[in-house]
Chain A
Amino acid sequence: MTETTLTQDATVILERAHFQQLLDALLQSGYRVIGPTIEDRAIVYESLSSVEDLPIGWKDQQEGGTFRLEKRKDQALFGYTLGPQTWKKHLYPPNVTLWQAKRENGSFKITPPEEDRQPLAFIGVRACELSAIAIQDKIFLESEFKDPIYQQNREGLFIVAVNCVEAGGTCFCASMETGPKASTGFDLALTEVIDGEKHYFVVNIGSARGLDVIKAITVRTPEAGEVEAAEARIAEASQNMGRTLETEGLRDLLFRNIENPRWEAVADRCLTCGNCTLVCPTCFCATIEDVTDLTGQHAERTRRWDSCFTMDFSYIHGGSVRYSSRARYRQWMMHKLASWVDQFGTFGCVGCGRCITWCPVAIDITEEANIIRQGDVAKTKEA
């Protein structure tokens, strides 16, 4: 395929054998390339330099409170669904020094932290994760107060999305209408197809930058049936979601069920450990820690991921507002599925299922919502 024939709306084929070229093109363009790799028997998002760093031939089995990696029968590069980590780890890091201060001549001098200006390229962003990034963009970039750290990491970010051709055991992106196919927000979107001896990626180009990268690597025109094979796999994934969540009237349902007895039942199981919020790709709460050293000459301000499940989170004069775990779980779930709609115009949940898989005791947001729907106070009043 010659460069001149390529346009942004073209669909091209990247052979598995040429996949390294994609990584090399991004690395040579100066990006820090981050993507899925195996660490401690799970998928994590870390720096990549070689296609060999990808979780080749692995898949994940996910259920509530359980994640296991297993060997696949094929050598798929993206044959897993999702690991515990989210891209917010890189866009909105968990621990950041905001500034340091030093006493000087009766006053003090503030030093900003050293900045890492290397642009990021994410490889393997799932459709639900693209939605999550769009939600965090709205919070950090599109409100009156922009977050400079997020903004710096987000600007220049190159996104290679990978469409899901298999759904995970706790996935419900189809219910949330965020996947499994990436529709917007990427520079390139790949769909991996393994068909007998054939192993290729159908590539959709989402931006001029994406087009430039594609022009720099070996791709070809699709043959008959190749694009259709990819679409069929995505459609199949859509039908095989491990979880479903009925979203019809969900916001109003939850608001009128604020005193539903189900909240007590979930509180009996909830550990208030905060895991669900820290693995959630949209949760954005942080706390600020100010410390001084022993001499009193230096001070430092740090921002850390926080969670609405901690007592400090709602601590005001006199105590914590949400003392009970019932109040804390309800606050979190109702924010995701009800008040987020009022606040930001969408659900705060993208259906990735991480809060289900990584809850140490397998509390399932879809199950809780469905049970509340069954025991809807509106229904019980009628009866």
Chain B
Amino acid sequence: MATTQQKPKLAVWKFASCDGCQLSLLDCEDELLAVAGAVDIAFFPEATRATMPGPYDVSLVEGSITTEEDIERIQMIRQSSTFLVTIGACATAGGIQALRNFKDVKEFVDIVYARPEYISTLEKSTAIGDHVFVDFELRGCPVNKYQLVEVLSAYINGRKPITPSYSVCMECKRRGTVCVMVAHGTPCLGPITHAGCGAICPAYNRGCYGCFGPMETPNTSSLATWWQQLGVQDVDIVRAFRSFNAYSEAFRKEARAHEHQE
């Protein structure tokens, strides 16, 4: 039992990201004390300045790899972590910043920065899993805080976390939400998107934005064909697939299929 065993040491790491997924942990409120009671928060700069040296039992990794230093740091984190969990779209798919992967990043740097020579960055923004072995990937932009607690609970209690990889439609139908695509003609990525958010957007009459990335067997081309029948232009299909999970394989390929040479 937790009281007699040594508590697992938890570290939270940040790479290129907006901090939103780390904030989901702090946003747990009701569960936060339970989290603090169940683990030793050994390294979490966003929450506390106190740090403990590694190794760590569980590392939560937020953000994508965008610099040479990142590549070295993630290797170091992997070496000092028993169980490494990536949290969020940046860490699992490269994030919104992976939009650079479709363009020449040097052009951006030249346009955006007054002194481009100060900027040292990689050509592409990539997922943590492209560089080191990842024990568990938690999807979402941001992650769902209940799923985050579920992953920690499962780890602590030695069981498999329940984070189903089927479509958002499963969550939509279970909560009794009327399908926005069928009943309103609103384009929705729900049928090809990984569940986990609880189908929030359709419950507010919006189509799914695909924050959780591709579901287990995403038939993106069939959905895109239907979107075209709903009157969606190719340029907007590209935009829909190129958001937070733009560099995930399924979304990347579908966007490419609708991209026309300028």
Residues of A within 8 A of B (CB): 39-42, 44, 65-69, 83-85, 89, 94-95, 103, 268-275, 278-279, 289-296, 304-305, 307, 309-312, 325, 357-358, 360-362
Of the candidates B149, B175, B215, B226, which one forms a contact with A294 in the assembled complex, judged by CB atoms under 8 Å apart? B149
B226 near A65: Cβ-Cβ < 8 Å = yes
With A95-B174, A361-B223 in contact, is A294–B167 under 8 Å at CB?
A: no
Other A-B pairs beyond A40-B183, A85-B176, A312-B164, 12, CB < 8 Å: A95-B174, A269-B219, A270-B219, A271-B167, A271-B219, A272-B216, A272-B217, A274-B170, A274-B173, A290-B159, A294-B31, A294-B34
B222 touches A292 (CB 8 A): no
CA distance A94 to B180 in the complex (A): 20
Q: Give Cα A357 to B181, complex, Å.
A: 11
| Complex Cα spacing A270 to B225, Å | 12
Query: Complex formed: what's the CA distance from A294 to B153 in Å?
Result: 4
Q: CA A296 – CA B177 in complex, angstroms?
A: 33
Counting chain A CB atoms within 10 Å of each CB, which of B164, B169, B190, B192 scores highest? Answer: B169
Q: List 10 A-B contacts (CB under 8 A).
A: A42-B183, A44-B176, A268-B222, A273-B192, A274-B169, A290-B159, A294-B31, A294-B152, A307-B170, A358-B179
Contact B176 A278 (CB under 8 A): no
Of the listed residues A95, A278, A361, the one surrounded by the most CB atoms of chain B closer than 10 A to its CB is A361
Chain B min CB distance to A155 (Å): 23
Q: A270-B222, A294-B31, A296-B157 are in contact. Are A310 and B170 (CB under 8 A)?
A: yes
B205-262: which have CB < 8 Å to A? 205, 215-217, 219, 222-223, 225-226
* Tally of B interface residues using CB under 8 Å: 48
Shortest distance between the CB of A66 and any CB in chain B (Å): 6
A67 contacts across to B, CB distance below 8 A: 179, 182-183
Q: Please give, as numbers and ranges, the residues of chain B lying within 8 Å of A279 by CB-CB distance.
A: 173
Q: Is the CB of A294 within 8 A of B178?
A: no
Once the chains are docked, how many angstroms separate the CA of A31 from the CA of B140?
42
**Contact at B205–A40, with CB atoms within 8 Å?**
yes
A310 touches B166 (CB 8 A): yes
Contacts of B180 in A (CB 8 A): 40
- Would you call B101 an interface residue if the criterion is a C-beta within 8 Å of the partner chain's C-beta atoms? no
B223 touches A360 (CB 8 A): yes
B residues less than 8 Å from A103 (CB atoms): 1
Q: Taking beta carbons and an 8 Å cutoff, which residues of B are in contact with A?
A: 1-2, 31, 34-35, 37-38, 149-150, 152-154, 156-157, 159, 162, 164-167, 169-170, 173-185, 188, 190-192, 205, 215-217, 219, 222-223, 225-226
A307 to B216, CA, bound (A): 14
Note all chain B residues with C-beta closer than 8 A to A295: 2, 34, 37-38
Contacts of B165 in A (CB 8 A): 311-312
Task: List 7 A-B pairs, minimum CB-CB distance, nearest first.
Answer: A278-B173, A273-B191, A94-B174, A273-B167, A40-B178, A294-B38, A42-B178
B128 CB to nearest chain A CB (Å): 23
A44 CA to B153 CA in the complex, in Å? 36
Chain B residues lying within 8 Å of A278, measured Cβ to Cβ, are 169-170, 173-174
Q: Contacts A295-B34, A360-B181 given: A275-B176 contact, CB under 8 Å?
A: no
Q: Which residues of B contact A69 (CB under 8 A)?
A: 183
Q: Given A311-B165, A360-B169, are A292 and B153 also a contact pair (CB < 8 Å)?
A: yes
Beta-carbon contact of B182 and A296 below 8 Å? no
Q: Are A274 and B226 in contact (CB under 8 A)?
A: no
In the assembled complex, which residues on chain B have CB atoms less than 8 Å from the CB atom of A309?
A: 166
| B217 contacts across to A, CB distance below 8 A | 272, 311, 325
- Provide the bound-state CA to CA distance between A201 and B188, in Å: 41
Q: Check A361 against B222 for contact (C-beta < 8 Å).
A: yes
Contacts of A271 in B (CB 8 A): 167, 191-192, 219, 222-223
Q: Which of A95, A268, A291, A293 touches B34 (beta carbons < 8 Å)? A: A293
- The CA of A361 and the CA of B228, in the complex, are separated in Å by 11
Complex CA–CA separation, A310 to B51 (angstroms): 42
- Check if A311 sits within 8 Å of B166, measured CB to CB: yes
Is the Cβ of A274 less than 8 Å from the Cβ of B167?
yes
On whether the beta carbons of B35 and A292 are closer than 8 Å, the reply is no
Question: Are A44 and B179 neighbours in the complex by a CB distance under 8 Å?
Answer: no
* B205 CB → nearest A CB, Å: 6
The chain B residue with its CB closest to the CB of A41 is: B183
| CB closest residue in chain A, given B175 | A94
Separation of A275 and B192 alpha carbons in the complex (Å): 12
Residue in contact with A273 in the complex, picked from B152, B175, B190, B225, CB distance below 8 Å: B190
Question: Which of chain B's residues have a CB closer than 8 A to the CB of A68?
Answer: 183
**Cα separation A39 to B180 with both chains bound (whole Å):** 12
Using CB atoms, name the residue of chain A closest to B190. A273
Task: Report B232 CB to chain A, min CB distance, Å.
Answer: 13
A275 pairs with B191, CB closer than 8 A: yes
Give bound CA distance, A272 to B159, whole Å.
27
Output the least CB separation between B257 and chain A (Å). 14
> In the assembled complex, which residues on chain A have CB atoms less than 8 Å from the CB atom of B190?
273, 360
Known contacts A271-B219, A294-B153, A325-B219; A360 and B226 CB within 8 A of each other:
yes
A103 to B1, CA, bound (A): 10
Give the CA-CA distance A65 to B228 in the complex, in Å. 14
Chain A contacts of B175 at CB under 8 A? 94
